[in-house]
Amino acid sequence: MEQTKLKIAVIGVGHLGEYHVQKYRAHPGVELVGVVDVVRDRADEIAQRYDTKAYTDHRDILDRVDAVSLAVTTEMHFEVAKDVLAKGVHMLIEKPITYDLSEADTLIQMARERDLVLQVGLVERFNPAIVKMMPMVDNPLFVESHRMNLFTTRGLDVDVVLDLMIHDLDIILHMIPSAVRELHAVGMPVITDKTDIANARIIFENGTAANLTASRVSGKMLRKIRVFQPDAYMSADCGKRQLTVISLDNQKKNSHNFPEVTTSKEQYADCDPLNDEITAFINAVIKRSAPVVTGEDGRNALRIALNIIDQIEKGCQNFSPAF
């Protein structure tokens, strides 16, 4: 496999799936075998645009590929993903991994038994502002995230927790190596019949608190995670791909004999997180190594997301143990 191109297809070529097609088509180590979509006209359109073959049934392509990206609607993830893994095909599955924890467990177990790469498409883990911030995180006291989007008709098969907040849940769970102790959440529908605005407060066993807000009916875009820890304040702006770090310089004192405060700001303009995500998947398949965002990572983010959704639906007003 190291000496030949990986044979890859994309299953589900809507708005996001087409971006996957673009990245694979441009990758020198990949042969784009085909695209799959249940809508024949869409499959034909994308196949013609990217000079590949069109299919309407994913089962027709699985014997011809080494790996796939799965970007069908979430309600179809489990059934299609089972077929993919059963055929011994590596898979990059868009978030959320499934709607259901037991289904996620089944996919993880299938991949493990077959020694397959199962990567979950939580693309913000590849945002350069997050990548640069992660090594600096050290025993944070408080983490705050805001993910606010303008309303679009995309992603409406799930609520805002599984659509947007799950990115920040994944980042924060990866950042804080501690179990969740308490969870409190509120939310409401605004335009759709599902939750469009949500807020969650999470307390971890080590004492760290995280506050997450997500909205898909905002007047402006905002994607920012702030980390407060004893020696620094960090702000990762995922939208602008910018990292700001304010820290204490204990080697320098001001006129009042307090440590001086230093500020640094880095901009990462020339980057493509989705391309980095897909490149990481390709490398994991070639090397048979664990992906950056594992099936277990996707399952962990889903677990907390489902607890948040449950609390919103029940209208909980008080903190209580989540697990």
Lowest mean pLDDT, pick from 220-224, 248-252, 263-267: 248-252
For the entire predicted model, the pTM comes to 0.92
pLDDT in tens, 27-55: 999 999 999 999 999 999 999 999 999 99
Determine the pLDDT at residue 17: 97
- Distance, CA of 145 to CA of 171 (rounded, Å): 10
The residue ranges of every structural domain in the chain are 6-116, 125-271+304-321
User: Cβ contacts of residue 101 below 8 Å, gap of 6+?
Assistant: 299, 302, 303, 306
Q: Is 87 left (phi over 0), alpha (psi -120 to 50) or beta?
A: alpha
User: If you write DSSP's letter for every residue of 31-68 in order, what string do you get?
Assistant: EEEEEE-SSHHHHHHHHHHTTSEEES-GGGTGGG-SEE
> What is residue 255's predicted lDDT score, i.e. its pLDDT?
63
Tens-digit pLDDT profile for residues 58-99: 999 999 999 999 999 999 999 999 999 999 999 999 999 999
Among the four given CATH numbers 3.30.870.10, 3.30.360.10, 2.70.150.10, 2.30.110.10, the one describing domain 125-271+304-321:
3.30.360.10
Domain 6-116 is in which class?
Answer: alpha beta
Ordered strands of the 90-94 beta sheet? 53-55, 30-36, 6-11, 67-70, 90-94, 118-121
Beta bridge partners of 9: 34, 68
pLDDT of 231 over the 80 cut: yes
- Which amino acid does the sequence have at 293? V
The DSSP secondary structure of 211-261, one letter per residue, reads EEEEESS-SS-EEEEEEEETTEEEEEETTTTEEEEEEEEEEEE-TTSPEEE
Half-sphere exposure at residue 224, Cβ-oriented, CA atoms within 13 angstroms: 11
